[in-house]
Chains A and B, each alone.
Chain A
């Protein structure tokens, strides 16, 4: 199973760009990298997913180096509402790889006014 390691917490001021890095040294060939955002008492919400290089959507960018042993979630110009726990998930729940989707401990991002 691909295990992930993230910083436990991060603080940022409003309007700054935030980069959260996840290490996944034993990622498998079929594994995708997915990031989630979770607010208290809610289920995790899908943010972005990638396999390699760079992916960008309307809320974030995901940078994945060629060796795929890490990934970085980039949140541009954070606001107070971005205060949440962010999880990196490595796996392939579609079945081509491991069925077990095991989350790491997540990164608690606190945005400061």
Chain B
């Protein structure tokens, strides 16, 4: 069966520091991969999606970037974090519908 791993679960980073969140999927090949962000009490905002290695589509211009160096690996990065980057970040893969990791709670201080 397919599983998705996302880490770390929580992260506290100072303003201006870099960020790297990693997501890996097992049990499927060539999945479509997604990064979402959820602010407190808000809905899911699609940030990036990828349909293959090296193929990244950005939904919202911002301080973040994404990369897909391997078929089942999706990375969310930032060179310099802003306070407004705080939130709950979720990685997902899709077949028919999306299947989510457990999320990373990022607090920028």
Contact = CB atoms under 8 A, between A and B. Distances in A.
Interface of A: 32, 34, 36, 41-46, 49, 87, 89, 91-95, 99-106
A110 B97 CA distance: 25
Given A46-B97, A89-B98, A99 B43 contact: no
A99 B59 CA distance: 12
Contacts of A41: 88, 103, 105
Contacts of B78: none
Interface of B: 32, 34, 36, 43-44, 46, 49, 51, 57, 59, 88, 90, 92, 94-103, 105
Contact of A101 (B43, B46, B101, B105): B46
Given A36-B98, A42-B102, A103-B43, 20 more contacts: A34-B97, A43-B101, A43-B102, A44-B90, A44-B98, A46-B97, A89-B97, A89-B98, A92-B96, A93-B32, A93-B95, A95-B32, A100-B57, A100-B59, A101-B92, A101-B97, A101-B98, A103-B36, A103-B46, A106-B44
A43 B57 CA distance: 22
Given A41-B88, A42-B102, A43-B102, A103 B44 contact: yes
Contacts of A42: 102-103
Contact of B97 (A32, A100, A104, A106): A32
Contacts of B88: 41
Contacts of B43: 87, 103-106
